[in-house]
Chain A
């Protein structure tokens, strides 16, 4: 009797398990983590794009999980993987690539793409946006939400100072010169933020001075290069010598408010702020490329798609399909208009929707045009530590605690120590 009951129960449990798993096998389930790093209801935009994808691909079920900022997204995705929870793909910071490779968490897209069409798709993006996604001869990250730094300027302030509002500073000398003229008792000429992401702003200055901050393998940094030191000298001189910028560090988080209240005539900031500035500026403003020393330059920024290693081939194929959908010209155009992020491929700017938007609002094209001069964002092995070394050096120089040369030489020595095991 007892045995019969047991068998019956066991049979029922088995049937239940089979019954539950049967439909799940028919569908491929994907879990995707994604961060939101700028303001606005962007989760709704992502959700609607995912819904469109599921409608077009009924055999794939996507579970898109909003995971906070870039740091949170990386921590949550890696924690999920460590705990054995399924996750097949994720949007994460483009500069997390070396950490993710070192954790053995991701696969290269080259190992997943099969057809020539897929291979051509991997080549369809702006080359500057691929720099942070490629290393060891492979492509690990595909661009999704990407930005650059641009210069926002207050045209009313330019008129007030007797400057031509259609001629924003195009060189370092002009920036210093105009910055000085724009500075009054009640207003600063220029502000470049130096908290939050100082290494990012500095990447623009060094590129403009003809030098990048690291090699393409993430194993060398060039912090003590003369052109890099000269770039930090210039940044500091804007405050100390030209008196066009406040001394000390400038807060990333409140800078936009400073600009909107007319307390600075020029600010350098992410393109991600474009929509917010457009909505809130009570004055005539312009957006321009960053000025040049020997050339123009800006680092790219933002998030890439990564594929996780712990997944079946079927899941990888489905994940690839999703990434291709999300990075298609139409989706990229939609994403760009809703956020201010760059359209990631030339084809995105050929879509009618984005063409119309750019014609109506020319500043939206500045970031794209600047891509020609863009370089990778600082990213190395041990990237968190190396980045902090540079951040601290920049802040030490800007607050006058150390000379730019001393600060950067120390940072380079320490970075060498950290990166030595990888060379």
Chain B
């Protein structure tokens, strides 16, 4: 056996455990899902048969699919930039010398520790008309109550606010860690040059944080597609699908309607969306990120 060959085998053996897990739990399910999406859902009475793109054509005629896709995009647009901006502001704030800085940091991080189901149960009672926190505060100022989750115009916004609240603390931790690694001499130099705070932030802090922002952005976007736990508690996608998101619709299709083939088709759409977004972010933003 040549040395080269031995290195090769050695290398593959080292890769094997990770590769087996990756293939078994990521690649194989993705391929199997794609194959499932080409067949009709089988029952004992009507066996599954090959339908080609038939399930994909159904997508085009499905008004609920159009609605959940739009909702998912709105949900991502509404939560991602807001959560990142809030995380950055919070990180800058708790990075300074504050009284009880540890407590403030902990407070900002608390929502992240809570499970989404618990958060949804808490916010359900914030939003409840009449007895909810929101309406009770509103009543102090003489505002009329509002049926927050029961109104198609406000329900998605309510979910976004809750998600931002839940997510921002998590992203703050990354920003905070990044801020503490920034070289202080740059900031001292900037101050000597007489740069104002805003200029320092815009020309120095923010560009230096770009690698973190890219990382946080990708995670935030993926999360906005993956987080649906709260729907089980808060709205079940209602009223009239006004708060239904793609992943929850997949769950409904698979486990409530038993239409596994159509669920597989919807899953392929979700996979494709995530792949495009992930690759797109790297390609577009990577050029603008300043790595040291």
Binding site for B on A (CB under 8 A): 71, 75, 99, 102-104, 188, 194-196, 246-251, 253-254, 257-258, 261, 263-264, 382, 384-385, 388, 391-393, 395-396, 398-399, 401
Contacts and interface: CB of A to CB of B under 8 A. Distances in A.
Contacts of B44: 102-104
Query: Which of B43, B150, B151, B242 has the most C-beta atoms of chain A within 10 angstroms of its own C-beta?
Result: B150
A388 B256 contact: yes
A382 B257 contact: yes
A188 B239 contact: no
B131 A249 contact: no
A395 B242 CA distance: 10
B43 A103 contact: yes
B257 A385 contact: yes
A102 B239 CA distance: 30
B124 A249 contact: no
Interface in B131-189: 131, 145, 147, 149-152
B240 A395 contact: yes
B78 interface: no
B-side interface size class:
20 to 34
Contacts of B235: 195
B44 to A, nearest CB: 4
Nearest to A186: B130
B128 A196 contact: no
Contact of B147 (A103, A249, A392): A249
B54 to A, nearest CB: 15
Given A102-B43, A102-B44, A246 B256 contact: no
Contacts of A194: 150, 239
Nearest to A396: B240
A183 to B, nearest CB: 12
B236 interface: yes
Contact of A399 (B130, B239, B257, B259): B239
A257 B238 contact: no
B238 A391 contact: yes
A101 B239 CA distance: 31
Interface of B: 43-45, 64, 124-125, 128-131, 145, 147, 149-152, 233, 235-236, 238-242, 252, 255-259
Given A195-B236, A261-B131, 11 more contacts: A103-B43, A248-B151, A248-B239, A250-B150, A251-B128, A254-B125, A257-B125, A257-B128, A258-B128, A384-B258, A392-B240
10 contacts: A102-B43, A195-B238, A196-B236, A247-B150, A254-B124, A257-B131, A388-B256, A388-B257, A392-B241, A401-B240
B51 to A, nearest CB: 14
A392 to B, nearest CB: 5
- With a 10 A CB-CB cut-off, give which of B43, B147, B238 has the most chain A CB atoms: B238
A247 B149 CA distance: 11
Contacts of A250: 147, 150
Given A102-B45, A246-B147, A257-B128, A398 B257 contact: no
A130 B125 CA distance: 38
Given A71-B255, A384-B258, A246 B131 contact: no
A382 B152 CA distance: 27
A155 B11 CA distance: 78
Contacts of A393: 240
Contact of B150 (A253, A392, A399): A399
B108 to A, nearest CB: 28
Given A195-B239, A395-B238, A399-B240, A75 B149 contact: no
A250 B149 CA distance: 8
B257 A384 contact: yes
A280 to B, nearest CB: 14
A384 B252 CA distance: 8
Contacts of B258: 99, 103, 384
A250 B150 CA distance: 6
Contacts of B124: 251, 253-254
A71 B252 CA distance: 11
Which 3 residue pairs of A and B lie closest in terms of their CB atoms, listed nearest first?
A248-B150, A104-B44, A395-B239
A385 B239 CA distance: 16
Nearest to B44: A104
> For B128, B147, B240, B252, which residue has the most chain A Cβ atoms within 10 angstroms?
B240
Nearest to B149: A251
A246 B43 contact: no
